Amino acid sequence: MNQADKNRRKHKQNFDAEEIVSRIYPFIIRVFEVYEIQNSGEALYFYGTPKTDAEHITQELWTPLQQRKLEFSLKYELGEHVLVIAPEKTARKKPWVNLALLVATIFTTMISGAVMFGVDLGNEPLEFIRGLPFTLAIMAVLGSHEMAHYAAAKYHGMKTSLPYFIPFPTFIGTMGAVIKYRGPIPSRKALFDVGIAGPIVGLLVSIAVTVIGLSMEVPRVDPLPNVLMIDLGLPPLFIIIQKLLGVSGDSLHPVAFAGWVGMFVTLMNLLPAGQLDGGHVLRAMLGKKAAYVSTAMPFVLLSTGLYVSYWLKEDGLIWIFWALFLSLFAAAGHPSPLHDKVELDKKRILIGVITFIMGMLCFTLVPFKFMG
């Protein structure tokens, strides 16, 4: 007997149809008038007539069924409405995948960091270890962002994966990290908390990393052949930190550069569109009216990119690219929280406004440009 058959057998053993019906029927008849129940041995099929719309049915049933480790779906088949309820399927966790990607990202960011310290990896491949300070800084920035999302989601009882870091041969050695959410969002409060936790924590760590990096001596680096140099545009928040520390100069220590990356990531994540962090936060703050802002954001970014490219004669492709990227996010819309009518408290609204302002302090028209 293979593992799939064992899981199926265990699933059937744990499926007590009579007990499940007795426990959940009172919740079902509030929103769904039942005229027939069928048992397939693995799921219960409630045939009937909805008393309200599908969104309201989901809102009413999700919490009591989740508490009993049950999942459900509302279908319309052969002219009949049917509510399908079955024991929750436990997703197989593969933490080794998260660990492998983490190790790979540490390796790729260390290589990028070593290049920033002027290491010629072609002649001294083992010297990649010199990129460790940058690795520690960038992983702290990106990791704190995702772990804040993870902690907030767990706090609200949402199902989520551990962070998946993405190793990639960019100039920072990674494309960031993501976590997967499964199941609906309980409320606007949960949506807000999960959406805003990453940017707030990530930005605080970015500020700390920037302060540390600006306090370190910038290494003297001879440009390596065939290696592109990056001219950074410093955002207002970065410049404020520089002035407070009394630091000047265009060259940055790789650790300070990691802080700059954190600010740039915060800015991009806080764009109020689609299912970006900023889209989540604005959706929680404004409700369905946030869709108007989400739809407008690609046009705002496209206008910014064209202004930078044709008026300032600088490289505005980053904004044009993100305009096209966000147009897909905006078109996909945003899923509604289960309890969407309960508005946020004033404290969260204030935190949201302050966070968006901090995000704007991470903005610069030309974030970076490559130089030969």
pLDDT digits (tens, 9 = 90+) for 169-203: 888 999 999 998 887 888 999 999 999 999 999 99
Give the residue from 197, 223, 216, 204 showing the smallest Cα distance to 134. 216
In DSSP notation, 276-314 reads SHHHHHHHHHHGGGHHHHHHHHHHHHHHHHHIIIIIS-S
d(CA 329, CA 234): 28
Q: What percent of the chain has pLDDT over 70?
A: 92
Could you give the residue ranges of the DSSP H alpha helices within the chain?
3-13, 17-31, 54-67, 95-116, 132-155, 188-214, 236-245, 254-269, 277-286, 290-306, 317-332, 346-360
Range scoring the smallest mean pLDDT among 13-17, 162-166, 271-275 = 13-17
Number of other residues whose CB lies within 10 A of the CB of residue 217: 6
Kindly state the average pLDDT of the residues 13-40: 87
Each domain of the chain, given as residue ranges in start order, spans 3-87, 95-371
CATH number of the structural domain 3-87:
3.30.980
- The one-letter amino acid at 197: A
- Phi then psi for residue 83, to 5 deg, are -100, 115
pLDDT digits (tens, 9 = 90+) for 53-86: 887 888 889 888 888 888 888 999 888 999 999 9
Could you give the 3-state DSSP secondary structure of residue 63? helix
In the DSSP assignment, the letter for residue 25 is H
pLDDT at 332 over 80: no
d(CA 301, CA 64): 43
- Angle between helix 254-269 and 132-155 (nearest 10): 30
b vs e for 85-112, b when ≥16 Cβ sit within 10 Å of the residue's Cβ? bbbeeeeeeeeeebeebbebbbebbbbb
d(CA 191, CA 339): 10
* H/E segment holding residue 175: strand 174-178
In this prediction the pTM is: 0.85
d(CA 83, CA 49): 10
What is the gyration radius of the CA atoms in the chain, in angstroms?
25
